[in-house]
Amino acid sequence: MTSTALPMPDLSGAFPGPFPAGPHAADVRAHLEQWLDRFPLLGRPEARHLLCDIVAHGVARTFPGAEPDGLFLSADLFLWLTAFDDTHGEATAAADPARLVRRIQGCVHLLADGEPSGEADVFDAALHDLLARLRARATAAQYLRVTGCLRDVLFGMVWEAHHLGGPGPVGLREYRAVRPHTVFARTLLALAEVVLGYELPDGARHSAAVREPETAVADLAGILNDLGSYARESAKGAPTSLNLVSLITRERDCDVAAAFAAASRLGEERAAAARRGIAVLAADGSAPLARHAEALESIACSYVWHIDHARYQGG
């Protein structure tokens, strides 16, 4: 089945676009190229070109009102996560999950404020740089939230590797609980306060008014990424088994078209829930909640935008 036979969800009611980008995308792109010269995380020039392009333009849409230094930090972090997953996760990790666990051990050591070991590689060195910059910019609580999300991402990579190479099926509920972390949405939600310079009061942070739209945005990010990835991989004839569409196909005993349609409807539902929650936050009257509502909207819009990029269109 080709990607043209798999229509994406209609999000025109919730996030119609156009999706505004800040004025610094070119500066972010140039910075990423320089950072990769310092920390060569990617080997293939075409992979480097595509990833720098989507990260630079994506971050400019994720945080359109941010100043350059905050954008550079978030872009470098997002690029590091993607390059690490492309290099050490996915199919490579599925063939040898234990090797991925050993590789992640060094990252966990750094996240615990350790220094790179004598066996550190370029990913360790780049992560050490990122954490030093994050520590200099964030409050102590913000730093702990972001690094906690990074640990969740690394756990999610191990979880994916185990299930890609394992014999047992994965349930939809379990998969959907992990996916917002592996699509990096939870990390971006935590990073928003650091990049945009606000901090939610603790009472608000744990309220349903904040948690529900955050969850809806994170769910939407995972669904859109899965739909875009499945359509691309189906066009190449090799869709992954650990994908929302594949899991719906197995759990509901339906064909791919029906499963894709069901996943698209779920995306539309989560987009509508995110839109409702964002509207409630924006109308609250609190400046931090209004800033958070803006951040949630722009994060959601960036995921809607990025699935049309060449990286998800067979590029």
Query: In the chain, what percentage of residues exceed pLDDT 90?
Result: 76
Helix axes 25-38, 45-62, angle to 10 degrees: 140
Q: Specify the pTM.
A: 0.93
Candidates 147, 144, 166; CA nearest to 155 is 147
pLDDT for the residue numbered 18? 87
pLDDT for the residue numbered 314? 46
Contact 241, 187 (CB under 8 A): no
pLDDT for the residue numbered 312? 46
Buried b (16+ CB within 10 A) or exposed e, 75-91: bbbbbbbbbbbbbbbbe
Which pLDDT tens digit goes with each residue over 13-26?
A: 999 988 889 999 99
Candidates 159, 186, 89, 238; CA nearest to 246 is 238
The CA distances from residue 5 to 62, 99, 110, 216, 287, in Å, are 29, 38, 45, 27, 44
Res. 167 pLDDT band, cuts 50 70 90: low
Which pLDDT tens digit goes with each residue over 99-143?
A: 999 999 999 999 998 888 777 899 999 999 999 999 999 999 999
pLDDT for the residue numbered 85? 94
Residue 197 is classified by DSSP as: T
CATH number of 23-312: 1.10.600.10
Q: Is 11 helix (H, G, I), strand (E, B) or coil?
A: coil
Which pLDDT tens digit goes with each residue over 24-58?
A: 999 999 999 999 999 999 988 888 998 999 999 99
Which pLDDT tens digit goes with each residue over 259-307?
A: 999 999 999 999 999 999 999 999 998 999 999 999 999 999 999 998 7
| Average pLDDT of the residues of the chain | 91
Q: Taking 60 as the threshold, does the pLDDT of residue 83 lie above it?
A: yes
Domain borders along the chain are: 23-312
